[in-house]
Amino acid sequence: MIMEASEFSNEKRCLVGFDIGSVSLNTVIMDVDHNIIEDHYDYIHGKPFNVLKDRLNYILDKYPQESISGIAVTGTGGKLATDLIGGIFVNEIIAQATATGKLFPMPGQLSRLAARIRS
């Protein structure tokens, strides 16, 4: 569910995710129930950390720092970005697998697949 930014109040908490790659910076801001409040796609034009700084300034202008419960960063520039801004670095494959499992849960499917492979 995508909610309007205007529905987000200062009392609410949010989570921020960045995927910083060689071509773009992808950003998502979610509430703690994982409803998307905003998402952004920014070309980096060879200056990934300048674009990250601009996007962070935008976020901090709109959302009080106290309302941000967590920041996670993935992508080729993710490790360095966490050194610069804080938050946690998440390997891209782990991030994708976790998101897929959350969005499309399939209880028992892995164990059934493993049983097929063994036989």
- For every residue of 77-110, DSSP letters joined together read THHHHHHHH-SEE--HHHHHHHHHHHHS--TTHH
Q: Which of 27-31, 60-64, 93-97 is least confident?
A: 93-97
How much is the pLDDT for 1? 43
How much is the pLDDT for 7? 55
Interval 3-49: pLDDT, tens: 455 555 556 899 999 999 999 999 999 999 889 999 999 999 999 99
pLDDT at 90 over 90: yes
Query: What Cα–Cα distance (Å) separates residue 58 from each residue in 20, 51, 63, 65, 84?
Result: 16, 11, 9, 12, 17
If pLDDT is split at 50, 70 and 90, which confidence band does 2 have? very low
